[in-house]
Structure 1
Amino acid sequence: MADKRQRARVQGSWAGPSKKAASSLQASKHSSENVPGAHRLLKEQSTADRRFVFQDPTEVQRKIPEERIIDKEGVYKISSGLTGVSRLHLIPGFVDPKEADWMFEQLHMEIPWHQKTNIRQDGSYQEPRLTAWYGDLPYTYSRTAMKSNPHWHPLLTMLKDRIVEVTGYTFNSLLCNLYRNGKDSIDWHSDDEPSMGRNPIIASLSFGETRNFEMRKKPPPEEKGDYTYAERIRIPLNHGCLLIMEGETQKDWQHRVPKEYHDRSPRINLTFRTIYPEA
């Protein structure tokens, strides 16, 4: 008799739930379906178990540098590296406003302005501004050369001599630029042609309408030409101001005068530089 009871207990341990227990479980399920919000509560509990937990990123988050504005007189070290220092010298009011007015009129009327055609891989295009070149040697950029004009306008000679006296730098050439309106511009570039030698000095004198002169630092090789995180500078160049670019500026930075899509009066920009004979 004891053996039969033992076998009954063992068989019962492998048996499924009793009919009474199954009926109770089914009733509980039906009752939860009839209780308002029961499914929502179960779902919220399940979602809570899988909720997102924020963790600080392991990589450093990069920020785009804020644009730096330079509009006061002074000497500015804008960058330094293994090769040297890039430096700007801004002199607002280098030419007195009344003098600047008549100089602008003279230069506007008497310089032999023309529109240069440049060449690139997809064809040729006309520069969106007018130019003139003064110096004993031709100047080549964008695959075309500007003819030399050794006969300097007397006003240009006087301005060159005044800049040499103030800065201590000497120049033998001049690129004149006429921006006729806000649509005239010059795209990103560096004045680093071989004919200008190492660390060229550029003296930029402006007359007429104020235009923004923008600069961006060239990215390191690992950035593969991506300027997203490049340092940027904006300099409003106004009537009669002088900007000197020195040191490694042409090697380490690019600059441009962007288009401006609203009314702009003409602007004349004189960029004094030194050109060396090609070897």
Structure 2
Amino acid sequence: MSDKRQRARVQGSWAKQLPKQLPKHSGPTAAVTNHQQPKSVNPVPSSWGSGPQNTPKTFEFHQPVKPIRDVPPEKLIEQAGDYEISHGPSGVSRLQLLPGFLPPEEADWMFSKLLAELPWSQKTNYRQGEAYEEPRLTCWYGELPYTYARSTMAANTQWHPLLLTLREAVEQVSQCSFNSLLCNLYRDGHDSIGWHSDDEASLGAKPTIASLSLGDTRVFSLRKQPVLEQDGDYTYVERIRVPLGHGTLLLMSGATQDDWQHQVAKEYHDRGPRINLTFRTIHAEPEGYRAGTKLQFTAKKP
């Protein structure tokens, strides 16, 4: 047997036999039985058929349920002055910015001294039952303890002499008295503090907080609390950024802690250390409040 005939026989054994062609018929007997043709579950009517056609509905425009809104541009405050940043049912929110509150030479000396001599440590906070280390160092001065983020800083009446001098200078400018101080050390751009308000019940209603910055410049950001109808959505709220440089004093007063949150965000480029001194007045916990409980503003009904 030649090679050509042998290859043809082998290939033929692999091939499947084709079904015989069905004879052509005319009339009703030409229909294929049910087991030979699958039924269509949802037959699609042909647009070319002679049966009734489904006319598509005319497009109707419906006004969106929620109005389209623009994200408001972020405001920048960097010039000295008094600013009323909002008016609302809880009152007027105010900022007072004083760049150069401390002369550069004095600020340099004070920064070096406080960096070296204050008892800096890293505080452990709790969020939803989970412990985490604050991304900064802190220390506390005051006759009463201070509780926030579900952990407490013990009372400390041993004020550093330089802090007493600074407290007196801040009180003279602000026309307020302060009995406590929270010190924050941001070691570099990766240290930060997240969005929050200083609205613990121990701070009282409408507290005034004086923030003095030493060291490298960091951006202090604020965002307006959303109204109840926005269900906690911060997308469209007002925002403000305030660069706080060496020797700058910022006063927050009025309804700022009721109506605004603030933060110092992480920065991913070189930043040197920064010390932030926040003078405040602490009271004994009001009756019925646990330590660290928020004091929420409630608008009076007309």
Shorter-chain TM-score bucket reads: 0.7 to 0.9
Task: Tell me the SS of whatever aligns to 2:95.
Answer: strand
Alpha-carbon distance, 1:199 to partner: 0.5
CA distance in 1, matches of 2:73, 2:103: 33
| 1:116 and 2:130 correspond | no
Question: Structure 2, unaligned stretches of length 5 or more?
Answer: 1-56, 287-302
CA distance in 2, matches of 1:56, 1:91: 48
CA distance in 1, matches of 2:60, 2:207: 56
CA distance in 2, matches of 1:59, 1:121: 33
Q: Spell out the pairing of 1:139-218 with structure 2 (5 A cutoff).
A: 139-218=146-225
Amino acid at match of 2:135: P
| Residue equivalent to 1:61 | 68
CA contact (8 A) 2:90 2:258 kept: no
Amino acid at match of 2:236: Y
Amino acid at match of 1:240: G
Amino acid at match of 1:254: Q
CA contact (8 A) 2:90 2:259 kept: no
| Residue equivalent to 1:101 | 108
More helix per residue: 1
| Residue equivalent to 1:31 | none
CA distance in 1, matches of 2:129, 2:204: 29
Task: Tell me the SS of whatever aligns to 1:174.
Answer: strand
CA distance in 1, matches of 2:129, 2:142: 31
Q: Spell out the pairing of 1:29-68 with structure 2 (5 A cutoff).
A: 60-68=67-75
CA distance in 2, matches of 1:216, 1:112: 32
Amino acid at match of 1:217: K
TM (normalized to structure 2)?
A: 0.73
Alpha-carbon distance, 1:277 to partner: 1.1
CA distance in 1, matches of 2:109, 2:226: 42
| 1:223 and 2:233 correspond | no
CA contact (8 A) 2:140 2:182 kept: yes
Task: Tell me the SS of whatever aligns to 1:106.
Answer: helix
Alpha-carbon distance, 1:98 to partner: 0.6
Alpha-carbon distance, 1:82 to partner: 1.7
